[in-house]
Amino acid sequence: MTEKKARISIDREIEVSVVDERIYSSFIEHLGRAVYEGIYQKGLPVSDEDGLREDTIRLVREIGVPLVRYPGGNFVSGFNWEDSVGPAELRPHRIDPAWGVIETNEFGLHEFMNWTKKAGTKPMYAINLGTRGIEAARAIVEYCNVKGGSYYSDLRRKNGAEDPFDIRLWCLGNEMDGPWQMGHKTATEYGRLAAEAGRIMKMVDPSIECVACGSSGSGMPTFPSWEAEVLMQSYDTTDYLSLHTYYGNRDNNTPDFLASNIDMDQFIRSVVAVCDYVKAVKRTDKQINLSFDEWNVWYHSEEADKKLEKWVQHPHQLEDIYNFEDALLVGSMLITLLRHADRVKIACLAQLVNVIAPIMTSDTGAWRQTIFYPYMHASTMGRGVVLNTAVKVDTYESRHGDAPYIDAVVIKDEENQTLTVFAVNKDLEHPYEVTMDVRQFEGYTVKEHILMTHEDVKAVNTEQDPGRVAPVTVHTDTIDAGTLTMHLPAKSWNVIQLS
Ligand code: AHR
């Protein structure tokens, strides 16, 4: 197939923003086998003395996750945090109405904090503003962040943690705009509650940051008036507003599916506009930034989940098996997030293990799904400053509007002297020759080109065949007279790094 041509333009001085590393965060909910059998499973040869799976920890460290949102999700809106502390054998078994299962609370707050240390990550803790209110919000910040000498801080010490957990980032509930949410509220009701919860939490620990719930999707009927009203009520105590989105290829139209990040891009632009509108109304200098704290592909497991028996413990739930085209979209979504790095400061791939996740486990091992790779490349190589990246390329019609065949973003890291291009070629037939003027980066040479492509967009990785879809290194790119020429095969995820 003939190679088509595209051009990327950057300027070393024209920056979008420094990448906040929290843009590469993830999410673990008490849901399905995310916690139980995912990160915690007593008695396995791969589990340590605390029952934490070392094979999962290895992959979490490999993928690079600075922050993990926990413990939900829909789950959190009916959760009593007190159930998850103290001697494990005394903790109550509860029904979780959100997911129709039994939660044993065997794995709780202290176990999670222990896991974050071993996995080299940090917590982002969500409180229940569905069935609970500001008293529980106050108490958990005291439990986690006050040194000692008070009821809840001393309870933490009695439960084995002498030092405070020092949790910096708190989600004020989850998807409170959704009628499926336990304790679902109107924007005014939630905005008031978020304001008061955030206020009392910051009275306990003024150094924390709070994320208020935005819409659970841009398709919600209350979007974007929800955002405006929530911020009108809670502007002073809110630091970030959340966004959530999931996409699926339900009608098996790959070009349309791969264009879904156009919708994500528009969603971000709209939420930024609302934040800045409220900023103007409030006549304040304070800027609200975005926490895109749930994003991914999610649809493969929908039918299986409808058949699940109720009130069992940690069933196989939301276990999407990701194919190659899902990895391409995840790559494009990462590019979209990075292109908005000036306002998106936190983003969580939802989720991390077993439940709509890049990492899967069984009793005999753990393996990488297709989406593991773009996330890992972005997280480990996408540090530095995002440059304003213009891409001149043909477009195709999609249900999300005109879609460029190539998505790309360029990141410079002056300290380590690297320039990294992330690029997805969505053209299913044609390879692209992409050129970029790099005269401002004199002396830089092509260090590597990591490529992920597959002839079958539906190809998946399994425990038996874990390497079917995996990246390779190619040596196809050149720099000649200050022009970098990159070759992107049809349907491919690419990382080109100069140094
Ligand atoms: O990530 C799965 C679920 O998706 C979360 O529990 C909820 O917040 C969202 O609807």
pLDDT tens for each residue of 144-171 = 999 999 999 999 999 999 999 999 999 9
Average pLDDT of 196-220? Answer: 98
β pairing state of 169-172 and 209-212 = parallel
Instruction: Quote the ligand 1 centre to 425 CA distance (angstroms).
Output: 29
> Which amino acid is present at 159?
N
Can you say whether residue 384 is alpha, beta or left, with left for phi > 0 and alpha for psi between -120 and 50 degrees?
Answer: left
Average pLDDT of 351-361? Answer: 98
* 175 within ligand 1 shell (Cβ under 6 A): yes
Q: Supply angle C-alpha 44, 46, 51, rounded to 5.
A: 60
Answer yes or no: are the C-beta atoms of 496 and 449 closer than 8 Å: yes
Q: Report the distance separating Cα 129 and Cα 212, nearest Å.
A: 11
* 73 within ligand 1 shell (Cβ under 6 A): yes
Minimal-distance CA residue to ligand 1 atom 5: 73
Q: Report the distance separating Cα 274 and Cα 269, nearest Å.
A: 9
Distances (CA, A) of 196 to 50, 140, 200, 450: 37, 15, 6, 48
Residue with tokens 């940690």: 314
pLDDT in tens, 43-85: 999 999 999 999 999 999 999 999 999 999 999 999 999 999 9
Domains of the chain: 4-11+388-498 (2.60.40.1180), 20-369 (3.20.20.80)
User: pLDDT band at residue 448, thresholds of 50, 70 and 90?
Assistant: very high
Minimal-distance CA residue to ligand 1 atom 2: 73
Residue 38: strand pairing partners: none
Can you say whether residue 161 is alpha, beta or left, with left for phi > 0 and alpha for psi between -120 and 50 degrees?
Answer: beta
Minimal-distance CA residue to ligand 1 atom 3: 73
Q: Report the distance separating Cα 53 and Cα 352, nearest Å.
A: 14
Instruction: Quote the ligand 1 centre to 73 CA distance (angstroms).
Output: 5
Residue 51: CB atoms within 10 A of its CB come to 17
Instruction: Report which secondary-structure segment, H or E, holds 156.
Output: helix 151-158
User: pLDDT band at residue 1, thresholds of 50, 70 and 90?
Assistant: confident
User: Any idea which residues carry the catalytic annotation?
Assistant: 175, 294
* 293 within ligand 1 shell (Cβ under 6 A): no
pLDDT over threshold 90, residue 328: yes
* 234 within ligand 1 shell (Cβ under 6 A): no
Average pLDDT of 218-223? Answer: 98
Q: State the chain's mean pLDDT as an integer.
A: 98
pLDDT in tens, 300-323: 999 999 999 999 999 999 999 999
From 244, 349, 351, 353, mutation site for ligand 1 pocket: most ligand atoms within 8 A of C-beta? 244
Residue 124: strand pairing partners: 69, 169
* 410 within ligand 1 shell (Cβ under 6 A): no
Exposed/middle/buried for residue 388 (C-beta within 10 Å: 0-12, 13-18, 19+): middle
Q: Is the peptide bond before 71 cis (omega within 30 degrees of 0)?
A: yes
